[in-house]
A and B are shown apart, each in its own frame.
Chain A
Amino acid sequence: MLLSIDLSLILEKFVLIVVVVMSSLVIAMYATFAERKVAAFMQDRRGPNRAGPFGLLQPVADGLKLFFKEEIIPDLSSKFLFILGPCLAMLTAMMTGAVIPWGDKVHFFGRDIPLQIADINIGILYVFGVVSLGVYGIMIGSWASNNKFSLMGGLRAASQIISYELAMGIALIALLMTTGTLSLKEIVEQQQQHWYSWNIIKQPLGFLIFLICAFAECNRTPFDLPEAENELIGGYHTEYSSMKLGFFLFAEYINMFLSSAVMVSLFFGGYDIPFVNDASLAETIGVNWIALIHTGLFLFKAACFLFLFMWVRWTIPRFRYDQLMNLGWKILIPLALINMLVTGAFILFQENNWHF
């Protein structure tokens, strides 16, 4: 027996993977549109409004423009690595979606289908691993360009991501101490119990550190030092043109969406409906409808975070490079360590029933 796995399971997971990949691409596409609209709103302009009604076809027009541009590969670059760079950036951006619980489950054809591609017991560590691999796309692409400005951008990206990963990891440790599990599904289910059981209430400081680090990991303003037009000509993607450049830019938006989804699952109850007992509601209106509401609410929460990303970009000027390193190493890491110690002490006293 070559394939002992249930065929319908493979089909079910395949459909789920296609849906998740497609919807994160479409959401990232419209995030670029939303970004320009938000920027226009903040600067008292109208923003893109020519292509289609309200400019809704603008992302399609942008994509077509990128596809039709001339593709240039520098002569002295390593051609394979030059193409591998943007591919890796896209791949690592999409991989996070595999462990995020988009909803509880749906009931079709007599089967319960969980709305999560893989519920592995190390879920959050998987996210962390994929994030730490995310830097390779930029580094390899920038090195293969054989251009010193690209290389400077790539080195900035690498040192920035490594520095902020530490604070992010320590902030996560404090969160995991309160949840006691690494599975994202279980973390979301724990938060469904009461209206006050969202992790943001238990770990406000941890959330703040995680949010700042997420900004840094996505290379978003105020941490977009790898991309610096006035210092580095363009940044890590100076030599890129056509859709390969598009992949780099697009990966940033996918990263933004999926890190919003991770933050929603970790700190804001995931697909939980606040102030409503989901289990009793599921009995009255059926499993499929509640799944629809859950997923819709999850996407709404993620969209709020996407708006926050854009809001910050068009409000706050960027850091200087030494300020960025100071914030990461001298402020965020000590804060995260204090947060971890306080959380640990609190849990210890709680388990001893407050006897000292």
Chain B
Amino acid sequence: MKNTFQAHFLIAAVCFILGMMLVAQFRSVQINGGAITSLQRAQELTSELKNVIDEREMLKKEITELRGRLTEYENSASKVSGLTDAMKKELEKARMTAGLLEGTGPGVVITLDDSNVPRQPGEDPNLFLIHDEDLLKVVNELFAAGAEAVSINGQRIIANSEIRCVGPTIIVNSVRLAPPFIVQAIGDPDTLESSLKMRGGIIESLQVFGIQVSIKKQDNIEMPAYNGPVQFNYFKPVKAGEKQ
């Protein structure tokens, strides 16, 4: 009989440990969140993202509306006197420089896509993708060749546009872009094309890794305007004459 009691006692002891472990496990699952809660969180985030995207679309519409109203005011003001007319022309020029105006003109359209060369095992896959640096080089080359306006996938490059790598995508004007990248540039088509196709130039170095590049000259490119917000929080212009 003593043996049975001992056995019961031992089993009770193991059960005691089991109970403690169960509680500890239960607690850690509750604290760290199981798979179910993470799924919920993902859904929450998805709906939040949707809301923010909708909001952004609305704000974009608002911007275009406000810009339209501004043009109306300018037009009506220019009718009043010659002075405002001259000012309006000056404003137009400044807008053009800033990239806030849509426009058309001759130029080139460059399409860049990731490599379709079959990769050997062990080779660095990064070499076969388009990076922010590659796009930056192309844009830089275009401006150097006298391009007057450049856009990437509909995002106009302005003075403070960024071209930056964000995970598998590239961000331009705070908008994520994915390949294929279509770079439009307005300028002298021949000069632009030859600047890119220069021996040892940017296109040649990209084609080594099989990145697909095509350059097309076009007579009429539609260049979008920069449609993001323009804000200056820190920059303050110095008025002429104030500077010593």
Q: Tell whether A and B belong to one assembly.
A: no
Residues of B within 8 A of A (CB): none
